[in-house]
Structure 1
Amino acid sequence: MRSVIKILGIAAGSFIYSIGINYFIVANGLAEGGFVGISILGLYYYKIPLGVSFFILNIPLFLIGWKLFGKRFIFKTILGVVFVSIFSEVTKGWQAPMSDKLLAALYGGVINGIGLGIIFRSGATTGGADIIGRIVNHYFGYSMGRTLFAIDVIVIGVVALIIGKQTAMYSLIALFVASRVIDMVLEGHASSRACLIISDRSQEIADAISQTLERGTTLMEGRGGYTGKNKEILYCVVSREEIGRIRQIVRDIDPAAFLVIYDVHDVLGEGFAPLKATS
């Protein structure tokens, strides 16, 4: 059942991604990074169907990936590529030319990010640059992120030379927006906050948080880098709505305390989402 849900997720993500590509990117003469970007260039200049060229470009990488990383990894990647190839042809007539290319880039980036985020969250990829990134990492040790960035830069550079700098700039905006939306889909909206509190009265603050907010806390041992004195560091995670009360508790008990608040994602456990929900 879980495998069926993941396959449906890959299909849904691929469908949404294909809509973003055709409805906003291709319809407004923009481009993408990676192998989809290469396929879009093939569509613009040689009228090669995007889905066909995208699938063909990935075939040699399937064979290499199968040999290096095994059938389990490559199976979901093949599904992602096949679904994107099919849906990009199904939706090729769904286009919305816009007078404002900036809006097209923004909307396209959001839709593409949602689609890719669902695909990645389902455990698949869209092949192409992702497989190359893994191969380069396997043989040369370079990080996947660096390789993927280099491939996107090369493709967008070619777009700048062939189509024009303005199109390349709008395409970069779409890529940036998509990357941020992918992070949101994968990690969730940061509705929780983590707090680090350094104080000489950490235990009192911990007791107040427990009594007032009914939140658990953790006390850790630390040492001041300048003074060399031992310090207790209090760590806790609270909802966004409780941050004001945390500040007030710390301010009332120890105005000289050091408080750090930052976003956290996928908080699982008592008081938040149940851990078993992600298994």
Structure 2
Amino acid sequence: MKPVRHSKLTPFEIIRRIAFIMLGAVLVAVALEIFLVNNSIIDGGVTGISIMSSYLSGVPLGIFLFVLNLPFLLIGYKTIGKTFALSTLLGIITLSVTTSLLHHVQPFTSETLLAAVFGGILLGMGTGIVVRAGGALDGTEIVAILVNKKTPFSVGETVMFINFFILGSAGFVYTWDRAMFSLIAYYIAFKVIDLTIEGFDESKSVWIISDNFREIGSAIVDRLGRGVTYLHGEGGYTGDEKSVIFCVITRLEEAKLKSIVNDLDPSAFLAVGNIHDVKGGRFKKKDIH
């Protein structure tokens, strides 16, 4: 059996990936230098360590961002892949250079809460854009991926565990109120990353069990424009044959779908779950009504 060959990226796709990685890195640099660093607010991971190291030593932040991420970049090259490593290298270089250029720019605000909120938003947007483009800006994620392969802890749990100590140490380096503001910025960034990666039209899987499955399925196709799949099942308790409707919708269509089901069969079983990724078939996120 011949090994599967991965298709190469077209020149347009390569340029597009480079542009998004650089854009995301610039947004993160703006968040750090214009909002967070000057207000003694840190981020998690290697970035947070770099901010505190720069504060204690007086060495520019960009140098620490590059030097401290380099070992993790080499690990990522060996364990995750060349494309990921090159994308991450581009992001880290752009981040380091941009933070150096913005180092002497005056912050937009000296109001700590505003800095934490808007810095967190920009930080999350920039990081999410880089992740969507296939790269990373922090070595913590690489460590978390390796830990996940050898332990029962998920990537998210490992990152949270590491950042708990990093963000907590801000209380010793700065003050404890700055550590709490750092937690606010980190939480906002964490949520914005999810929105940036998944989008506001997050996909949802829907399972419906009803005797009126044909009518419900036809209504979903006609009124939502979504394809449905009919599955045959069997009740575990009664042993009766059941027909199950499966379909994928966007978050904006959830209320309308529930209304359709309730109109045609108020007693129908309905289960809705989140989906992180959808590919293939007739489903397109842009088909939002």
Paired amino acid for 1:11: M
Paired amino acid for 2:16: I
Distance of 1:22 and 1:115 partners within structure 2: 14
Q: CA deviation at 1:37?
A: 0.6
| Greater displacement, 201-210 / 2-11 | 201-210
Distance of 2:31 and 2:235 partners within structure 1: 51
2:243 aligns with 232
On the 8 A contact 1:188/1:265 being kept in 2, the answer is: no
| Greater displacement, 263-272 / 101-110 | 263-272
Q: Which of the numbers 54, 70, 73 marks the counterpart of 1:59? A: 70
On the 8 A contact 1:190/1:263 being kept in 2, the answer is: no
1:15 aligns with 26
CA 197–131 in structure 1, closer or farther in 2 if over 3 Å, else same? closer
Sequence identity of aligned pairs in percent?
37
On the 8 A contact 2:144/2:155 being kept in 1, the answer is: yes
1:125 aligns with 136
Q: Which runs of 5+ in 1 are unaligned?
A: 275-279
Q: CA deviation at 1:60?
A: 2.8
RMSD: 2.8
**Deviations, residues 104-144 of structure 1 (Å, cap 9, x unaligned):** 21111100011111111111111421232234345557533
1:178 and 2:173 aligned: no
| Greater displacement, 141-150 / 16-25 | 141-150
Q: Give 1:33-44 correspondences, 5 Å limit.
A: 33-44=44-55
2:36 aligns with 25
Distance of 2:256 and 2:96 partners within structure 1: 51
Paired amino acid for 2:89: I
Distance of 2:188 and 2:198 partners within structure 1: 15
Q: Give 1:123-202 correspondences, 5 Å limit.
A: 123-138=134-149, 142-190=153-201, 193-202=204-213
**Deviations, residues 187-220 of structure 1 (Å, cap 9, x unaligned):** 1112665432221221222233334444321112
What secondary structure, in the 3-state scheme, does the structure 1 residue paired with 2:104 have?
A: coil
1:270 and 2:264 aligned: no
1:277 aligns with none
CA 123–249 in structure 1, closer or farther in 2 if over 3 Å, else same? closer
1:45 and 2:67 aligned: no
1:249 and 2:260 aligned: yes
Could you tell me the TM-score, scaled by structure 1's length?
A: 0.85
CA 67–141 in structure 1, closer or farther in 2 if over 3 Å, else same? farther
Paired amino acid for 1:207: S
Q: CA deviation at 1:240?
A: 5.6
CA 243–52 in structure 1, closer or farther in 2 if over 3 Å, else same? closer
On the 8 A contact 1:34/1:128 being kept in 2, the answer is: yes
CA 57–102 in structure 1, closer or farther in 2 if over 3 Å, else same? same
**Deviations, residues 54-99 of structure 1 (Å, cap 9, x unaligned):** 1111233334443444533322221121111111111223342645
Distance of 2:98 and 2:37 partners within structure 1: 14
Q: CA deviation at 1:248?
A: 4.0
1:76 and 2:87 aligned: yes
2:3 aligns with none
CA 228–22 in structure 1, closer or farther in 2 if over 3 Å, else same? farther
CA 133–224 in structure 1, closer or farther in 2 if over 3 Å, else same? same
Could you tell me the TM-score, scaled by structure 2's length?
A: 0.83
1:86 aligns with 97
Paired amino acid for 1:21: L
Paired positions, count: 275
Distance of 2:36 and 2:253 partners within structure 1: 41
Paired amino acid for 1:167: R
1:106 and 2:117 aligned: yes
